[in-house]
Structure 1
């Protein structure tokens, strides 16, 4: 009997996870195409053969679904930024490359609409998002390492990390909101690099 109950619970959990993945995938497409406010939850759920009940059960409400989608995309952005930095010769250049890569992702239609435009509008201050705090933790480790090696000035690690992370995110916001993002992007990256270089020792 216990085994049957355990198997049933496992199946329920697997079904919930499958539904969650389906809904996040459908929401990414719908939010990118229409924006969060205009996206129809009935259309979204119907496209993956689910009901509104599945959405509410998995995410609470439409905003909960947006938060899950933002977290998913934001984590992918962080991974891509780290990949960009991994190819660089020094930890300092890697840190700058990660920030620049993050800013550059503002040109991606999905990132632009969901993370940079709808995210702050409907989920509030990005500094309170779990995904942004995860990005901050990565930056803090890099900054602490650079300070320990004498590459960066002996400044408070959290303060420097929050300024660097916030600058990258706000630069990306600027690019995303611009009517001429391809023109704004190099300006944003140049300003980010100059600001960051103020932390360099010597």
Structure 2
């Protein structure tokens, strides 16, 4: 049975995203030629325009895919953690460690930020909501000093995001990830109920 139109559209989108992801990872957004990566995918520039509008729209789709994968990894940490504190600390640490990964560093933290601007409000609200819920559980369990969880989530998220951008500026992996993790542990210990 031949593929349906919807299946063909999804296949074309997936090919474009995969080819762009490889190209953006290797050459960066500015260094990526639309003609080169569409040809490598066996597609035309017209297919890119049809599905994503332009190269910027394709970068948004690639960054969104990677961001979704990061979220899945963070959720897995929460599920596998023995307790709420371990889940919270593990997620914060993993986020900073991911900032040192070449693909995340280049596409999400450097190119997407430069080309697309700040993180969309909906994505930021989802992150803050998840972090706030974890903090509320930690307060309910008596692990963390009581405070307004959403405000605390904003402060911690701001520190994590800023540290991730700082790590990404380093280019090749160096001491910044380890330095950020050490400082993060100091910061998080300050939340613990005495």
Report the structure, 1 or 2, having the larger helix content.
1
- Once the two structures are TM-superposed, the CA of residue 85 in structure 1 deviates from its matched residue by 4.0
Q: Deviations over 1:1-20 (max 9, x none)?
A: xxxxxxxxx93322221111
Match of 1:57 in 2: 50
Alpha carbon RMSD of aligned pairs, Å? 2.0
- Once the two structures are TM-superposed, the CA of residue 91 in structure 1 deviates from its matched residue by 0.7
Match of 1:37 in 2: 30
Distance in 1 between residues matched to 2:172 and 2:56, nearest whole Å: 29
| TM norm structure 2 | 0.88
CA spacing shift, 1:47–1:179, aligned 2, 3 Å: closer
Please list every run of 5 or more consecutive structure 2 residues that lacks an aligned counterpart in the other structure.
none
Distance in 2 between residues matched to 1:192 and 1:61, nearest whole Å: 39
Q: Deviations over 1:21-73 (max 9, x none)?
A: 11111111000111111111111111111112211221121111111111111
Distance in 1 between residues matched to 2:52 and 2:175, nearest whole Å: 38
Residue 66 (structure 1) aligned with residue 59 (structure 2): yes
Match of 1:189 in 2: 181
Distance in 1 between residues matched to 2:156 and 2:148, nearest whole Å: 12
Match of 1:81 in 2: 74
Distance in 2 between residues matched to 1:137 and 1:42, nearest whole Å: 40
SS of equivalent to 2:82: coil
2:14 to 1, 17, 21: 21
Residue 11 (structure 1) aligned with residue 4 (structure 2): yes
Please list every run of 5 or more consecutive structure 1 residues that lacks an aligned counterpart in the other structure.
1-9
1:144 to 136, 154, 174: 136
- Once the two structures are TM-superposed, the CA of residue 99 in structure 1 deviates from its matched residue by 1.0
Distance in 1 between residues matched to 2:76 and 2:55, nearest whole Å: 32
Contact 1:139 1:161 in 2 (8 A): yes
SS of equivalent to 1:181: coil
Aligned residue pairs: how many?
A: 192
Contact 1:71 1:130 in 2 (8 A): no
Match of 2:40 in 1: 47
Match of 1:175 in 2: 167
Distance in 1 between residues matched to 2:17 and 2:132, nearest whole Å: 29
